[in-house]
Amino acid sequence: MIDIKLIRTNPELVKENIRKKFQDEKLPLVDEVINLDQEVRNLKATGDALRSERNQSSSQIGALMREKKIDEANKIKTRVVEINDQITENEARTSEVEAKIKEIMMKIPNIIDDAVPIGKDDSENKEIKRFLEPKLRPFDVPYHVDILERVKGIDLDSARKVAGNGFYYLTGDIARLHSAVTAYARDFMIGKGFTYCIPPFMIRSNVVTGVMSFAEMDAMMYKIEGEDLYLIGTSEHSMIGKFIDTILDKKDLPYTLTSYSPCFRKEKGAHGIEERGIYRIHQFEKQEMIVVCEPTDSKEWFEKMYNYTVELFVSMGIPVRTLECCSGDLADLKVRSIDVEAWSPRQQKYFEVGSCSNLGDAQARRLGIRIKGENGNYFAHTLNNTVAAPPRMLIALIENYLNEDGSITVPEVLVPYMGGTKVIK
């Protein structure tokens, strides 16, 4: 959510930003906010005048009563009652209009960074850099589910019976490899100075609307029936929510946290074969990183964070590239986002395994996360990034480390987390 002062002072900038995101249907919202904002200010001025009149009138009543001017005093009492009714109506209308403004403001996208390329969708994202050269394989790499089934590492049929499509059982050394990735990613981030956390896996609705747009919420979140609780789609949700309605001390900044959680997502829509199996699923586990920092430091942290993910993959010998997300591919709260994609030897292309986002003060403004300043409090900046989401990372691992005989070599950095196992046969 952007600052309403920006709409007051520079509505054309806000409209141009909407056009850059190809959301022209939202252009009328800017003028609607301006009109409603003016109404609120008029209402508040009227309310102030009414309260001033009430105070003056109330002070006259006592004096008139002492002077035995009962009729005059009663007339003023009647007027005070009328004023109170008008104040009540004024305050009710003010609250109604302010709620409407907030509702509209949550639909207006955040101002994107100048570095963001202009494009309609993810097909227009721009490649930044590649890391490690993909190795040519002297054999055809099978579909990842076939690889996993051959080493008895997955059971999709049983999962469908138990929970339906989009779920899985991982077993044996593959389940252990999954846990090894998570543990390695955790220790990797601790080594970067991040504090390890395990957050709540459910959050209340006020946190949901604080960390994401309504469109994202509808597409992603599972609601707990009969409760004001939602299953998290990523631990970023509850980790940013941790700071709701807080005033942070400058000396404690930045907060650098890495969190583990299961994640639950609806994943609406039909997807091709490569996005089935364990690529696009309703339940998975992830190691995340989040930063809450000074506004002046968020660009520097953004660069650090996505490079940590690159460094993690490179340490496991997996070729990756970074992509700058274009304007049309950015969620409304995001200022800038860079995806990390891993190489798929089967598909002979890169696929997304992580995304780093700078949200500016959008989440902080919604959740009331402020920094105590010498000249008044101001909103913090928040950032989040995937360290590792093992189901997708597993695909990258098994495809890049598959041997011709069907066995899978364990990356050297993961061997200690596998109890010394170097090859999954």
How many Å is the Cα radius of gyration of the chain? 28
DSSP line for 367-379: HTEEE--TTS-EE
Judge whether 401 and 316 are in contact, CB under 8 Å.
no
In angstroms, rounded to a whole number, what is the distance separating the alpha carbons of residues 366 and 309?
Answer: 28
Confidence (pLDDT) at 274: 46
Report residue 203's pLDDT band, with 50, 70 and 90 as the boundaries: very high
pTM score: 0.89
In this predicted structure, the answer to whether residue 27 has a pLDDT above a threshold of 60 is yes
For the chain, give every domain's residue range.
4-105, 122-424
Using one digit for the tens of pLDDT, what is the confidence trace for 28-37?
A: 999 999 999 9
Using one digit for the tens of pLDDT, what is the confidence trace for 258-316?
A: 999 999 998 754 445 444 678 888 999 999 999 999 999 999 999 999 999 999 999 99
CA nearest neighbour of 287 among 376, 402, 417, 135: 417
Judge whether 199 and 238 are in contact, CB under 8 Å.
yes
122-424: same fold as 4-105?
no
179 phi, psi to nearest 5 deg: -70, -35
Judge whether 394 and 174 are in contact, CB under 8 Å.
yes
In this predicted structure, the answer to whether residue 19 has a pLDDT above a threshold of 60 is yes
Hey, is 247 helix, strand or coil? strand
Architecture of domain 4-105: Orthogonal Bundle (1.10)
Architecture of domain 122-424: 2-Layer Sandwich (3.30)
In angstroms, rounded to a whole number, what is the distance separating the alpha carbons of residues 174 and 145?
Answer: 12
**Alpha-carbon distances, residue 125 vs 269, 323, 324 (angstroms):** 22, 6, 6
Confidence (pLDDT) at 268: 56
